[in-house]
């Protein structure tokens, strides 16, 4: 099947390079320099394109708007879209995914990654996925059948990474190739259990006693030796000289058994998901050797395990998630104006996880709606508890993800939620991170207006860290601008920085909003902000985020903070 692609890119050099590369790979191409041109090309084309490869940021019409238009039309809604862009604004990229984008690649683009993406979104008729689910399921079945006996094997994942010519092999030569690989495996791993995926040339070897002996984090040299041995054996075992050109580049990934043991008791789909991810690593290894242990895989482990752990904790409403309150101070008199409810997660499996990581994971995996509802319920319950104190907390604020605002029913449901707690709307402020996808979308704008009409305050959090245009900002029904903490570092010695913050405070006044500065840590910063006329502030100068009980003590103190 010959693939027909449409490339949409405003960078002339990049456009030419992409076109040249794809045509060299046998893919026919059309080009456009923005979304509007792309729509014209598609309209004039008698045969629909098999894939659209587009940048996001382009004049006249960007990639996200193009994706929305293509998804809205019956003729084009099934065309897979691949985005190649600089990874700067995650909110926009994830919004693109929701707009029908099938894959995201980072600039500068990699030839192998691009071709893999194209073949992933356009599977050949009747073909199986590169890493079929049944392969990962076979690994799961083996691992957890032996684990029931009380011991887990270590696992070595290999992939015979051949040149691109393999996909053009005649049937007879492919059979010979597969036979040679099996011969090599039998010689290298005579006493080991292994599973071989012939569709992808991937191999999973358990315990690795016959080929490499005991493996651990110090055995990278042993893996390199094994890698070299496999390549030499392949050439020696080749039944005829024609196979010599296909000598493999073997990627080796060793997985320590402690990682596998950490998944005991997990749901099957979560473990299979982990195995598929590791197999993907072997697929893209390009001859590299990876050693994965509990210590060396912290970030991937968190990213892969978080979704199921978050979902479990939210569903069970366990006390893993909690709220820490950070007081907001009136800069004129030092009184407590209110407090921001900040999310915290102390996971039994992962320990304390930073909000940036688990909030991001919840957004990526579509769990932010459930998590956000749970966290706001905890915050409202604690706020009500503090109303029984002799000196009550005047008002509360909590964060809302930009992705929640893209749900057309979000504001209505939140209004009903606040009403159910019988909390006066004027004592609640909703904070949203500065994001074009939320502040400029129609659903986002409708939600903001409904929240404002209810009487709740609306704050733009981390103002100055995003890229919302002043024109768009002026159209939002905002009541607060929360100036990002990054503007405070060096403000006393930097006149330009001082001028920027002064302009932000003035901007807040111009749009009838109050100004709040985050991250105040020093007396000098406080005095400068008072002189600029800033209304409120929060930061370690007064208090780090604290539990409700500690905030209650501060509320009852006649003079809780330094002036």
pLDDT score at 221: 72
Q: How high is the pLDDT of residue 424?
A: 96
Of the candidate ranges 99-113, 187-201, 254-268, 394-408, the one whose mean pLDDT is the lowest = 254-268
- For 4-121, give the CATH class: alpha beta
- List Cα–Cα distances, 68 to 60, 96, 97, 120, 493, in angstroms: 15, 9, 10, 21, 47
- In this predicted structure, the answer to whether residue 241 has a pLDDT above a threshold of 80 is no
Q: Give the mean pLDDT of 138-163.
A: 64
Largest pairwise CA distance in the chain: 90
Percent of the chain with pLDDT over 90: 24
Query: Residue 35 pLDDT more than 70?
Result: yes
Question: Does residue 548 surpass a pLDDT of 90?
Answer: yes
CATH superfamily for 133-296 is Nucleotide cyclase, GGDEF domain (3.30.70.1230)
- In sequence order, what are the residues at sequence separation of 6 or more whose Cβ sits closer than 8 angstroms to the Cβ of residue 145? none
* Overall average pLDDT of the 161-170 stretch: 51
What is the pLDDT, as a whole number, of residue 244? 58
Task: Establish whether domains 4-121 and 303-555 are of one fold.
Answer: no
**Nearest C-alpha neighbor of 340 from the set 466, 402, 431, 420:** 431
Per-residue pLDDT reduced to its tens digit, 466-509: 544 455 566 677 888 888 888 887 888 888 888 888 888 888 88
CA 522 to each of CA 75, 255, 484, 529: distance values in angstroms, whole numbers, following the listed order: 60, 47, 16, 11
Residue 125 scores a pLDDT above 60 = no
For residue 106, what are its two tokens?
């980072």
Write out the catalytic residue numbers: 518
Whether the predicted pLDDT of 83 surpasses 80: yes
Length of the chain: 563
Sorted by where each begins, the domain ranges of the chain are 4-121, 133-296, 303-555
Spatial contact of 458 and 480, defined as CB atoms under 8 Å apart: yes
pTM above 0.75, yes or no: no
| pLDDT over threshold 60, residue 213 | no
β-pair partners for 365: none
Please, which residues have CB within 8 angstroms of residue 444's CB and are 6 or more apart in sequence?
A: 402, 405, 406, 437, 438
Tokens of 241: 């000289």
**Segment among 313-317, 353-357, 546-550 with least mean pLDDT:** 313-317
Residue at token pair 């919004």: 95
**pLDDT band at residue 168 under the 50/70/90 scheme:** very low
Q: How far lies 499's CA from each of 465, 471, 505, 529, 532, in Å?
A: 16, 20, 10, 12, 10
Using 50, 70 and 90 to split pLDDT, how confident is the model at 147? Answer: low
Q: What is the pLDDT of residue 256?
A: 64
Ramachandran quadrant class, 109 (left: phi over 0; alpha: psi -120 to 50; beta: rest): beta
| pLDDT mean over 253-276 | 61
Q: Is 77 left (phi over 0), alpha (psi -120 to 50) or beta?
A: alpha
Other CB atoms within a 10 A radius of the CB of residue 403 amount to 23
Q: Point out the least confidently predicted range of 33-47, 62-76, 179-193.
A: 179-193
* First and final C-alpha spacing in the chain: 74
Domain 303-555 has CATH 3.90.550.10: no
**Percentage of the chain surpassing pLDDT 70?**
68
Answer yes or no: is pLDDT of 456 > 80: yes
């Amino acid at each position: 099947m010959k693939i027909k692609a449409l490339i949409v890119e405003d960078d002339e050099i990049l456009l030419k390079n992409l076109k040249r590369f794809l045509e060299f790979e046998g893919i026919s191409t059309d080009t456009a320099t923005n979304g509007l041109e792309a729509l014209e090309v598609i309209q004039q084309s008698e045969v629909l394109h098999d894939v659209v490869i587009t940048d996001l940021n382009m004049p006249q019409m960007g990639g996200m708007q193009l994706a929305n238009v293509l998804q809205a039309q019956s003729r084009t809604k099934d065309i897979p879209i691949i985005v190649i862009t600089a990874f700067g604004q995650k909110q926009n990229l994830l919004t693109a995914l929701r707009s029908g984008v099938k894959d995201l690649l980072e600039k500068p683009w990699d030839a192998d990654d691009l071709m893999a993406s194209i073949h992933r979104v356009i599977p050949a008729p009747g073909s199986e996925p590169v890493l079929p689910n049944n392969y990962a399921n076979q690994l799961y079945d083996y691992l957890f059948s032996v684990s029931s006996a009380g011991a887990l094997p270590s696992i070595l994942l290999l992939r015979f990474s051949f040149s691109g010519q393999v996909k053009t092999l005649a049937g007879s030569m492919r059979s010979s190739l597969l036979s040679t690989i099996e011969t090599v495996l039998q010689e290298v791993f005579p006493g080991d259990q292994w599973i071989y995926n012939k569709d992808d040339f991937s191999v999973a070897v358990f315990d690795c006693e016959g080929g490499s002996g005991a493996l651990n984090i110090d055995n990278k040299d042993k893996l390199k030796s094994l890698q070299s041995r496999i390549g030499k054996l392949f050439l020696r075992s080749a039944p005829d000289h024609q196979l010599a050109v296909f000598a493999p580049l073997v990627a080796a990934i060793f997985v320590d058994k402690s990682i596998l043991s950490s998944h005991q008791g997990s749901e099957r789909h979560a473990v299979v998901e982990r195995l598929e991810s590791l197999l993907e690593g072997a697929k893209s290894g390009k001859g590299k050797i990876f050693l994965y242990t509990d210590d060396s895989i912290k970030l991937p482990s968190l990213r892969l395990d978080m979704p199921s752990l978050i979902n479990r904790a939210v569903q069970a409403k366990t006390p893993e998630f909690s709220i820490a309150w950070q007081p907001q101070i009136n800069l004129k008199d030092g009184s407590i104006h209110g407090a921001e409810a900040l999310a915290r997660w102390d996971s039994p499996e992962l320990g304390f996880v930073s909000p940036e990581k688990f909030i991001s994971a919840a957004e990526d995996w579509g769990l932010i709606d459930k998590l956000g509802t749970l966290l706001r319920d905890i915050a409202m319950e604690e706020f009500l508890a503090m109303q029984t104190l002799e000196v009550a907390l005047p008002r509360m604020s909590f964060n809302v993800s930009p992705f929640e605002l893209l749900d057309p029913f979000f504001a209505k449901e939140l209004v009903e939620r606040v009403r159910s707690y019988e909390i006066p709307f004027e004592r609640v402020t909703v904070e949203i991170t500065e994001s074009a996808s939320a502040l400029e979308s129609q659903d986002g704008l409708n939600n903001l207006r409904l929240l404002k009409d209810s009487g709740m305050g609306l704050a733009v959090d981390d103002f100055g860290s995003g890229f919302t245009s002043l024109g768009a900002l002026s159209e939002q029904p905002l009541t607060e601008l929360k100036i990002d903490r990054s503007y405070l570092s060096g403000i006393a010695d930097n006149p330009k920085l001082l001028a920027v913050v002064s302009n932000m405070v003035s901007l807040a006044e111009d749009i009838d909003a109050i100004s709040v500065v985050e991250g105040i840590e020093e007396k000098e910063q406080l005095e400068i902000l008072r002189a600029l006329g800033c209304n409120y502030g929060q930061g370690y100068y007064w208090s780090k985020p604290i539990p409700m009980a500690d905030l209650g003590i501060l509320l009852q103190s006649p003079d809780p903070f330094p002036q």
